[in-house]
Amino acid sequence: MTSAAQRANGHAAEGRILSVMAKQMRTNLQAARKAKGMTQQAMAERLGISLRYYQQIESGDRTGDFQIWDDLEDITETHQRILRAINPGKADNR
C-alpha cells in the first residue's frame, strides 16, 4: 500500500508537470499569435470571445473548448499539438 506521504508526493509531482506544460503552452500560443502580428485583443475578436477569456487561455488559467483550439490552429497555421505542447515533435505537425 502507498502511504499518505507517497500519494502527496505523487500529487505534487503531477502539479509540477502540469505547471511546466501550462508554461510551455503559454509560450507556444503567445509566440504563434505574435508571429501573425496579432494582439491579444485582435485574437479575441477573431475568435469571437472576450479579451479576458482569451488572456485566461493564453495564460493557462482556462483551457478553452475544442472549437476555440480548432480556430486557433486555423488562425495561427500551427497545429494544436504545438500550440498545446502535447507532442511538439510529431512528424505530421504543420
Q: Cα–Cα distance between 13 and 22 in angstroms, integer?
A: 14
pLDDT at 27: 86
8 is a domain residue: yes
The radius of gyration of the chain's CA atoms, rounded to the nearest angstrom, is 16
**Within-domain flag for 88:** no
Please report whether residue 17 resides in a domain.
yes
Domain containing residue 30: 4-83
- Confidence check: pLDDT of 83 > 80: yes
Which amino acid, one-letter code, is at 19?
A: S
pLDDT at position 92 is: 46
- Distance (Å) of CA 52 to CA 43, 77, 80, 92, 94: 11, 23, 21, 32, 28
Whole-number pLDDT of residue 26: 80
CATH of residue 45? 1.10.260.40
**Bigger pLDDT: 61 vs 5:** 61
Is 90 domain-assigned?
no
Does residue 34 lie within any of the structural domains?
Answer: yes
Q: Which position has the higher pLDDT, 84 or 31?
A: 31
Number of domains observed in the structure of the chain: 1
Residue 94: inside a domain, yes or no?
Answer: no
Tell me the per-residue pLDDT of 11-63, one tens digit each, with 9 for 90 and over.
565 555 556 655 666 889 999 999 999 999 999 999 999 999 999 999 888 88
